[in-house]
């Protein structure tokens, strides 16, 4: 099969107005954090109701690190999260000196299970860090209740959830802290980048300071007309600021978000229709509580008991046949470091592990054509037929 027919797993939609805005930034003489970042933060905040603080960063990984850094975690402290996530969710817990504790997921939605979170809470638990998975929300009412009862912080990994609603509420509008990602595969992109929405003013102030070396002023305020070149280090911080070049992209992508998410939803419904009769391919099930799904990812599981090959063999052949696929995500607790350092073992999280061995993600992005989508499904059908028991 020729390369021209390869369907990439992802492709960002970048249009002329974003490009013009980036060029404008490049020509303006100010390319790092400046007025465009401030404007992007303001528009992102307004999109989410306008009552919280918005802090732009150079990745969601950086954003999660900053939020956790404000909790002043100590050795022995625990943070409860999910194993079905990108490693950075969990790595940041370890980097901040705490111990990750995994709650299992629902087998069919892959959202963290609040009942299992409750079982894992003890006197050392300091925070819960759920992931709004694949663009659908976690069951926030139950998690809010647990945080209230036990006095815990809630840092929401909203990397997949820009535009997601839980009931009638956009993710991030009521959160203590929620962190979004603008990596190129996400629903909107700034190349790399992230945004923290925070409803706790003291925490937001500290995040802002830690974003840029822990000093009390942003560079562009120091260097611009009327600015003062002086600064104070209040506490040692990081170098996690977003560039104006990135914000130039983000400003336009945010205005297009609803169009992008609608296109993703239409493709997702079409996948569900096209996959309905393939018993060996099991799409995730959207949560039963009211929500608006941002359709960041379209994840399916291979029903291996009906097949003569495992998931890895199946996806290798899918790639050979010209379909780009992703893995979101192999369980983090079974990664080498986590097994060796914390002794996590197979058997501890049955739903996460069952999914970890079977899941893969299909191409889903606004530029995917219905014809390409049919090609994806036809290839799935062909391989299922080739390998079914």
State the minimum distance, in angstroms, from the CB of residue 355 to ligand PLP.
15
CA separation (Å) from 255 to 188, 258, 261, 271? 10, 8, 11, 26
Site for ligand PLP (CB under 6 A): which residue of 52, 81, 83, 85? 85
State the minimum distance, in angstroms, from the CB of residue 187 to ligand PLP.
12
CA angle, 59 then 55 then 202, to 5°? 125
Is residue 163 involved in binding ligand PLP (CB under 6 A)? no
Is residue 159 involved in binding ligand PLP (CB under 6 A)? yes
For ligand PLP, which stretch binds (CB under 6 A), given 55-63, 69-77, 207-215, 249-257? 55-63
User: Nearer to ligand PLP by C-beta: 110 or 302?
Assistant: 110
User: Nearer to ligand PLP by C-beta: 181 or 187?
Assistant: 181
User: Nearer to ligand PLP by C-beta: 83 or 181?
Assistant: 181
State the minimum distance, in angstroms, from the CB of residue 305 to ligand PLP.
29
CA separation (Å) from 320 to 200, 275, 316, 317, 383? 49, 21, 6, 5, 11
User: Nearer to ligand PLP by C-beta: 186 or 213?
Assistant: 186
Is residue 175 involved in binding ligand PLP (CB under 6 A)? no
State the minimum distance, in angstroms, from the CB of residue 39 to ligand PLP.
20
Site for ligand PLP (CB under 6 A): which residue of 33, 52, 59, 253? 59
User: Nearer to ligand PLP by C-beta: 194 or 363?
Assistant: 194
State the minimum distance, in angstroms, from the CB of residue 94 to ligand PLP.
14
State the minimum distance, in angstroms, from the CB of residue 141 to ligand PLP.
21
User: Nearer to ligand PLP by C-beta: 113 or 157?
Assistant: 157
Is residue 157 involved in binding ligand PLP (CB under 6 A)? yes
CA angle, 38 then 41 then 45, to 5°? 140
Q: Which of 36, 126, 174, 186 is catalytic?
A: 186
State the minimum distance, in angstroms, from the CB of residue 223 to ligand PLP.
27
- Please give the Cα distance from 207 to 66 (Å, whole number): 6
Site for ligand PLP (CB under 6 A): which residue of 131, 349, 364, 384? 131
Is residue 162 involved in binding ligand PLP (CB under 6 A)? no
Residues 236-265 binding ligand PLP (CB under 6 A) are none
User: Nearer to ligand PLP by C-beta: 83 or 379?
Assistant: 83
- Please give the Cα distance from 240 to 258 (Å, whole number): 28
Is residue 60 involved in binding ligand PLP (CB under 6 A)? yes
State the minimum distance, in angstroms, from the CB of residue 288 to ligand PLP.
22
User: Nearer to ligand PLP by C-beta: 85 or 125?
Assistant: 85
- Please give the Cα distance from 65 to 92 (Å, whole number): 5
Is residue 164 involved in binding ligand PLP (CB under 6 A)? no
Site for ligand PLP (CB under 6 A): which residue of 61, 189, 253, 355? 61
- Please give the Cα distance from 241 to 213 (Å, whole number): 10
Task: Examine the residue annotation and report whether 186 is marked as an active-site residue of this protein.
Answer: yes
Is residue 181 involved in binding ligand PLP (CB under 6 A)? yes
Binding site for ligand PLP (CB under 6 A): 59-61, 85-86, 88-89, 131, 157, 159-160, 181, 183, 194
The catalytic residue positions are: 186
């Amino acid at each position: 099969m020729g390369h021209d027919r390869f369907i990439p797993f992802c492709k960002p939609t970048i249009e002329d107005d974003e490009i013009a805005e980036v060029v404008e930034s490049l020509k303006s003489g100010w390319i790092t954090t400046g007025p465009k970042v401030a404007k992007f933060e303001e528009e992102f905040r307004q999109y989410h109701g306008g009552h919280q603080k918005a802090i732009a960063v150079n990745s969601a990984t950086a954003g999660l690190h900053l939020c956790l850094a404000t909790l002043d975690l100590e050795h022995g402290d625990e943070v409860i999260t999910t194993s079905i996530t990108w490693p950075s969710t969990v790595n940041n817990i370890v980097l901040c000196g705490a111990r990750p504790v995994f709650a299992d997921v629902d087998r069919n939605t892959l959202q963290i299970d609040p009942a299992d979170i409750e079982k894992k809470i003890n006197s050392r638990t300091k925070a819960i860090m759920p992931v709004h998975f694949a663009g659908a929300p976690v069951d926030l009412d139950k998690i809010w209740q647990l945080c209230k009862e036990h006095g815990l912080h809630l840092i929401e990994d909203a990397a997949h959830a820009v535009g997601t609603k839980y009931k009638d509420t956009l993710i991030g509008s009521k959160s203590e802290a929620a962190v979004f990602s603008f990596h190129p595969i996400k629903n909107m992109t700034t190349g790399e980048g992230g945004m923290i929405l925070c409803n706790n003013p003291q925490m937001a102030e500290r995040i802002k300071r830690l974003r840029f070396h822990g000093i009390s002023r942003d560079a562009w305020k120091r260097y611009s007309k009327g600015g003062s070149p002086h600064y104070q280090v209040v506490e040692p911080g990081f170098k996690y600021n977003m560039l104006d070049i990135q914000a130039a992209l983000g400003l336009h992508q945010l205005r297009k978000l609803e169009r992008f998410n609608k296109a993703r939803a239409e493709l997702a419904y079409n996948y569900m229709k096209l996959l309905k009769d393939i018993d060996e391919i099991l799409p995730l099930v959207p949560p039963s509580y009211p929500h608006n799904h941002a359709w960041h990812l379209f994840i399916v599981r291979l029903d291996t008991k009906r097949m003569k090959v495992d998931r890895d063999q199946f996806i290798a052949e899918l790639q050979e046949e010209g379909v780009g696929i992703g893995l979101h995500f192999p369980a983090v607790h079974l990664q080498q470091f986590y097994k060796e350092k914390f002794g996590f073992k197979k058997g501890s999280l049955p739903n996460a592990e069952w999914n970890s061995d079977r899941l893969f993600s299909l191409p889903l992005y606004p530029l995917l054509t219905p014809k390409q989508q049919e090609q994806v499904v036809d290839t799935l059908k062909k391989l299922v037929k080739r390998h079914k028991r």
